[in-house]
Structure 1
């Protein structure tokens, strides 16, 4: 079923101006629609934030940030933002409509791009990015999906949803933002981004365009992030021998692990790209097979074709060179001269034949020596990693290496136990053909001693996790505890949620999360429900009302927070964001008037006062005789068995003379 047929947005008039026509794309944050601006009668693209994110202030702020960031840029290689607004509960952006494809679509269709295609696209992308960097904006989410190739040949950067003002320490917040495959090492390890982080993403994109795949791969995002943080991006020519050395240098410069070793911004890299492009055009001979080619994206269709025709990216070769034959030279030579020259040419020819034979023989011998003989060299491939020992053995033996039957061991934070983690010599090493290689099997993460987290503050625990090193995972859970001071550690959990507090060892780089004390729950006894609710809301607790009980607190006030026990009979754990139940008061519990008939007045009065009643005695017997046979109780008001609130008045009747 067509997604447009079930989308309630199709056909809607947004904000009284933009008529939604069809859906173009859908992402994790918003959906993009094709619409008509009824006021200006032009096609536009409208990005509408997903409804479930509308109440999240952080997402709305990021959405508005995209409009502000893009609106500050007026450049032919940046998608224009025309308008931003809100209709009912929907936030939206109005952008320039660019029919065409993304760089990701182009890569999926062709996988590997030519040198010239890569240079042309990168020049356009870097020109737009240079304008952003000049305006003090870091994109932070550069990837092929955000590079648009319009049908009319224009190339533009879009999606500034993660953009921020550029500085030396632009932090990403609690979680990493952007696509993991293009994150720079400093973003992975420290969560900091500046213009050089964008340059790293550009380098990864260039590698992918030249090779047809990303330099780092893994089954889990953490594996890819670990490689970005700890490994060097290889030269594109190692995977595609057609890549010129000049582009190797550009990619390796842009993807240097240290930010200071990269170009400081897009303008610096763009200037170098221009020089590289110029030198490559000069170096290549202008023939039909090697001429430098320009990349063109054709319009959707000629005037005579239907409007919905889609253009493909096409590459046009340079024009064939017509080589004119040299005009014949009119030379007059005598027979003797011609004979002499012929003899010299004949002698020189024999020497040339002999030299060629020697060169061919030497080349054949060198080819054998370095290709199949003892002088050949083999690079141990990274494809053996994360494979079974049997699979790795086949790969290495096919390369002419001898694999030891004895398996070694190695700790690895990423590769699963019993799979190949590395080899000896190590992966990437260049060894002679026939060299022995031992496979090192993963034993899982290296066991490291667990710090004594007890009595640590949150900051101290974070530092200890980093130094171990383990991988700290947000968010911190804050739990109320009457015995542990606020800000101190209650528990430390592993990736499965089990406690490692007091454990001896834990795996290197494995995930660790913290439970930190939020202090005791507040005492809200005898407070009004409103006051107690506000007090608990300030501690990020939600409130619901529970049962009513008799108590000494005024009727309608709070008696306590319900501390019901769990299935193990332990008090229920309360954490920030939880809902607690308030027990409210029905006032003091009623007390029944006891039957004190036939008791002496003094004894009856004492019994009633012990139940908090206020006692009045009516009798003609003097008080000095109340505790004698002259003063029996004849009755009470209220009568025996009636229930009264504590503090109520009870009248005792004695003998009347």
Structure 2
């Protein structure tokens, strides 16, 4: 980590709250500063987007979007994002302060560096992977992991910092896995830098290390990404298996052991050749890449099942994407560098959660060609599921329960019943608790009553007459609609085909036309000398707030992108966007949020 240096931004306060201090890191696209939250009275870290990228709306939006996504992640070893925003020309993200020393500082001080015992090194790496795991699950990558952004506190806790918020378009989870492999090599050998032209083996620098450690480092630092573990979660599984197989150190004080850090002369000598010079002689035989301890059999099977078996470079096989989220599957396909196209379809699956990849076409293991296409089948859950108990409820309630269970084809048969009121479900086929096929029809036997007609497309008067003609009452509500003309029926409850008793009620929604958009008048330019303002009466504030917070404007829509200054109404209140935002409700974030509460409607 860089030492604090003076900065022209020192002393600037963001949104009247965060005071920027000395610069402590960064690159050409961002700068990292010490900071202080003057409201919470606590130290923070401020990441500022550089002036040139901040002037590009697309880059600024991407920066803020990634910051907001990271803010939603929870991991014990992950630095927390406290807030983000845009104050004038400054686009920023605020993270918690992480006291302690970076691994680069711990391992690189003095003429002789430090290395960790295998058990301690794997423990640190496991904590790092545990922080990366939830980010990879959300399709996010760190993009710049190194010993400079892994912080150790006085209690031995590990915190991962320095997530890149811009410039990570080409990075994938396998990029982070490679960085963790390099980190593990550093922890085991004390060498802060190593050549990455061939898989690394720490035993080449520190003889006598267990072969399992060579396997973990070599697989993660393999130059070809497709031979690495696919993400932090998969690599963490292997690390934990090896960690459990190692004996615990008898003396905790011996966890770090001083050894010489290889200099430039050592890197060009025989030891450097042993560590990997890219020759065929140096590259270990395939079986040497796998563990030879007690857990060897399990790990080898896991590696082959994941598609990591070494294959000729010219043969690129489709990896097994089952269980991946769509975002992670797309990242895996992009990492193959074959310019593949992909489409989605739905598929039943007994073992894969809904929304995740159930299978692919072509199947996993198939050799791919550049420019080919892949169909990703997303799970909609199992095809055969238990039929819910709908007997005794109304026909409308039964339809909702069946729909939630995955049954979409429902047929209703009316039967006379002297005991049940009209519209009550008497039985179902299949019966409650039986396994039903979601592709097949579920038949509901319902006590005789009045069948609700389809009112969509009718006018208000026509719909009311149609219901009154069959003995049903009408309740009318009005709501704006962009697709139904004013006065037309835009909705009804219960839905067409439902059965009600003869005195039942149907609620119809009548369109009032498109929602009115209120354009805020532009404020007049300030005069050179402002006239004295009249004294306000006791109710002036309330009247002004009411006039400035009309609920007749645009309601919040999760699919709309809002820019700074845009106003919406939500939950009876008016909110104004502080910066670019999409998908975040106005009530989320509080004083750190992207929305400013303008008062009630």
TM class by smaller structure: 0.3 to 0.5
Greater relative contact order structure (CA < 8 Å, 6+ sep): 2
| TM-score, normalised by the number of residues in structure 1 | 0.36
Q: Which has the larger radius of gyration?
A: 1
Q: Scaled by the length of structure 2, what TM-score is found?
A: 0.39
